[in-house]
Amino acid sequence: MIYTAQVKVMPLKELLDPQGKAVMGGLGNLGLGSIKDVRIGKNITLQVEAESEAAAKAIAEDAAKKLLANQVMEMFEITIG
Amino acid sequence: MKFGVVVFPGSNCDRDMIGALCDDLKQEVIPLWHKDKDLSMFSKEDCIVLPGGFSYGDYLRCGAIARFSPMMNSVIEFANSGGKVLGVCNGFQILCESGLLPGALLRNAHQQFVCKNVFIKEEGNPAALKIPVAHGEGRYFASEEVLKSLNDNGQVLYRYCDENGKLTDTSNPNGATEAIAGICNEGRNVFGMMPHPERACSNILNNEDGRVVFSKLFGLS
């Protein structure tokens, strides 16, 4: 069976995210000053062939740990849809 | 001593590196292709160089894909058996991604690509060297624990400084933690740095400070 895995990769909370800061500045210029923080990450969609949802999640986790996220600077979350 | 310079798709400082090593420093250089994996012509005294550029288009993260190329598997093996490896700019990013060096290189704090001469200094030596940088993701980051061990073991090779060798906020071009510009591994055989010494080895370029870097790392003059 084919499962769709969404891998959300975000910069670690304690790290400065310059991209997010730049976008927040832009939002402020649009008059959306009530937005107090912006952080930008990536969403990666995988089609995984596996026997169960748990197996698909394990495969996606392996991919995230080995390549999709660098855990020195990023964290990831996986949802299977 | 021989040098091997790895060419990845998207490398763009490979010719500069080969030119500096071959023409300016009079070393034997063998260009290496990322799809090959044979390093049998190199001994531990030799050095494999990962040049600057945008390997694999910097997709996903800088250096993340290059790390899995066939040649990188051989380079990792070569480094683990004590062979010398130098990564400059994108090469430094690849070394961090591959785990041969600790830490990571993040987007510059000011969000801009920086391309200019900067000054760097060796640990314990106040003399400032003028070396060019050209990168968008050069902000060195490592956990406090890793930083402590880098400092305790003398693994920080270079820090950004002003022309007088003083560490100041304005002399750090990318917001790197502790103004770190280059580090080595614990075994002192793997070196990584964001500045480009290969662009500063020739009097035609009006800057030969890069020779001081090659001299420190490999005893070349």
Is B28 an annotated catalytic residue?
A: no
Q: What is the CA radius of gyration of chain B?
A: 16
Q: In this model, does residue B73 exceed pLDDT 70? A: yes
Q: Would you call B76 an interface residue with chain A, using a CB distance cutoff of 8 Å?
A: no
Residue pair A2/A48 in contact (Cβ under 8 Å)? The answer is yes
Q: Which residue of the set B62, B89, B161, B184 is catalytic?
A: B89
- Extents of the domains making up chain B: 2-218
Please check whether residue B107 touches A, CB under 8 A.
Answer: yes
Task: State yes or no: pLDDT of A1 exceeds 90.
Answer: yes
Chain B, 140 to 179: residues with Cβ < 8 Å from chain A are 141-143, 175
Interface probe, candidates A7, A16, A24, A73, chain B, greatest B C-beta count within 10 A: A73
Taking CA atoms, B152 is separated from B62, B85, B123, in Å, by 28, 22, 12
Find the CB nearest A67 among B64, B106, B142: B64
ipTM of this predicted structure:
0.82
- The pLDDT tens digits of the residues spanning B200-210 come to 999 999 999 99
Residue spans of beta strands (DSSP E) within chain B: 2-7, 28-33, 47-50, 84-88, 104-106, 114-122, 128-135, 139-141, 156-161, 180-184, 190-193
- Active site annotation includes B161: no
CB contact (8 A) between residue B141 and residue A15: yes
pLDDT in tens, A16-29: 999 999 999 999 99
Residue B158, strand partner residues? B122, B182
Which architecture does CATH list for B2-218? 3-Layer(aba) Sandwich (3.40)
Given a contact cutoff of 8 angstroms between Cβ atoms, the answer to whether A61 and A46 are in contact is no
Q: What is the dihedral of CA B112, B184, B98, B139, to 10 degrees?
A: -20
| Alpha-carbon gap: A72 to the closest alpha carbon of chain B (Å) | 6
Indicate if B198 belongs to the active site.
yes
Q: How many other C-beta atoms can be found within 10 angstroms of the C-beta atom of residue B84?
A: 23
From B97, which residue of chain A is nearest by alpha-carbon distance? A70
Domains, chain A, in order of start with CATH, read: 2-80 (3.30.1280.10)
pLDDT grade for A81, boundaries at 50, 70 and 90: confident
pTM of the model: 0.93
